[in-house]
Amino acid sequence: AQSVSQHNHHVILSEAASLELGCNYSYGGTVNLFWYVQYPGQHLQLLLKYFSGDPLVKGIKGFEAEFIKSKFSFNLRKPSVQWSDTAEYFCAVNAAGNKLTFGGGTRVLVKP
């Protein structure tokens, strides 16, 4: 069965700091990978996705993620965060069939 692990539950950092959130999945075949964000009081929305091609994908709001197949990882990065990046971030994987499985989420607090 596919599963997704996000290593950090909570991250606190200051504005302009760099952010990297870890995501690992367990599935040996072809995967489609996603990062979603949930701002306070809002619904989940897509940040970026990977399904083939260049393993470095760029998303909205300056976020990017790198797919490393050998490490079963899809880490999210942003070089310089803003206060408005305060949110919860979820990694998700679609491997076998139609299931879309999410990780536990990482709550990010950016201090002004």
Question: Which residues here bind other proteins, judged by CB under 8 A?
Answer: 1, 32, 34, 43-46, 49, 51-52, 88, 90, 92, 94, 97-105, 107
Minimum distance of other proteins from residue 87's CB (angstroms): 12
- The smaller minimum CB distance to other proteins, of residues 14 and 32, is found at 32
Give the side-chain half-sphere CA count within 13 A for 77.
Answer: 12
- The smaller minimum CB distance to other proteins, of residues 3 and 18, is found at 3
* 3-state class (DSSP) for residue 109: strand
The closest of 96, 47, 98, 97 to 74, measured between CA atoms, is: 47
User: How far, in Å, CA of 93 to CA of 24, rounded?
Assistant: 10
- The smaller minimum CB distance to other proteins, of residues 19 and 103, is found at 103
Query: Quick one: CA dihedral 52, 53, 59, 65, positive or negative?
Result: positive
Taking residue 78's Cβ as centre, other Cβ atoms within 10 Å add up to 20
- The smaller minimum CB distance to other proteins, of residues 8 and 18, is found at 8
Minimum distance of other proteins from residue 18's CB (angstroms): 24
